[in-house]
Chain A
Amino acid sequence: SQTIHQWPATLVQPVGSPLSLECTVEGTSNPNLYWYRQAAGRGLQLLFYSVGIGQISSEVPQNLSASRPQDRQFILSSKKLLLSDSGFYLCAWGLRLGGHTEAFFGQGTRLTVV
């Protein structure tokens, strides 16, 4: 079966510290992978997406970067966190189902920058 793992579930980091969030998927190959951020009570902002190893597209300029070192691994990073980086980070993959593609999300990481 297909699953997506994202960790950690919660994280409190000081301003200026580095960040690394990891997402892995199982039961599929060559998935499209996505990182979204969601501010409290707000919608989903697409940060990065990847269609293959080493292929990263960025949707918005920001203090974050993403990497895809392996087919089923997607990493979100920052060298120095800002207060504005706080939010709920969601990894997702594009799951192909019966003629359309569905976004299948990990459980998310709630990041608080203090």
Chain B
Amino acid sequence: GQSLEQPSEVTAVEGAIVQINCTYQTSGFYGLSWYQQHDGGAPTFLSYNGLDGLEETGRFSSFLSRSDSYGYLLLQELQMKDSASYFCAVPLYGQNFVFGPGTRLSVLP
């Protein structure tokens, strides 16, 4: 089967750096994606790692280690608007996506 694990909650203060980890067990792994979901809204795509290493997009970076079945999302210079839930996801070949349970990030002033 397919499973992903994430911490349920993370809290940090404005301006800080926070890392949200994701471990996975899947077959046919094609990469790791990250999504952000604000309360009441739909998830939106943040980043994708198809290869090992770090991908940077502005204040957000995502990392993947295939050998460790592990990835993380790094958020720098945290802002209040970053308070949201963050989901890692594995796109499976052809049809499907499997999402992690989500990590709720609370940014405090």
Contacts and interface: CB of A to CB of B under 8 A. Distances in A.
Interface stretch (A12-20, A67-75, A105-113): A105-113
Contact of B43 (A101, A103, A110): A103
A20 B102 CA distance: 28
Contact of A106 (B42, B50, B91, B99): B42
Contacts of B98: 46
A100 B45 contact: no
Contacts of B96: 34, 46, 49
Contact of A103 (B31, B97, B101, B102): B97
B96 to A, nearest CB: 6
Contacts of B50: 99-100
Interface in A81-114: 90, 92, 94, 99-108, 110
Contacts of A102: 33, 45, 48, 91
Contact of B87 (A43, A51, A101, A106): A43
Interface in B66-109: 87, 89, 91, 94-102, 104
A99 B48 CA distance: 10
Name A's interface SS: strand
Nearest to A4: B42
Interface of A: 32, 34, 41-44, 46, 49, 51, 57, 90, 92, 94, 99-108, 110
15 contacts: A32-B94, A42-B102, A43-B87, A43-B99, A43-B102, A46-B98, A94-B97, A100-B30, A102-B45, A102-B48, A103-B45, A103-B89, A105-B42, A107-B41, A108-B42
Q: Ordered nearest first, which 5 A-B pairs have the shortest CB separation?
A: A105-B42, A43-B101, A44-B99, A102-B45, A101-B91
Given A49-B95, A100-B91, 20 more contacts: A34-B96, A43-B99, A44-B43, A44-B102, A46-B97, A46-B99, A51-B94, A90-B42, A90-B43, A92-B97, A94-B91, A100-B30, A103-B33, A103-B35, A103-B45, A103-B91, A104-B45, A105-B44, A107-B41, A108-B41
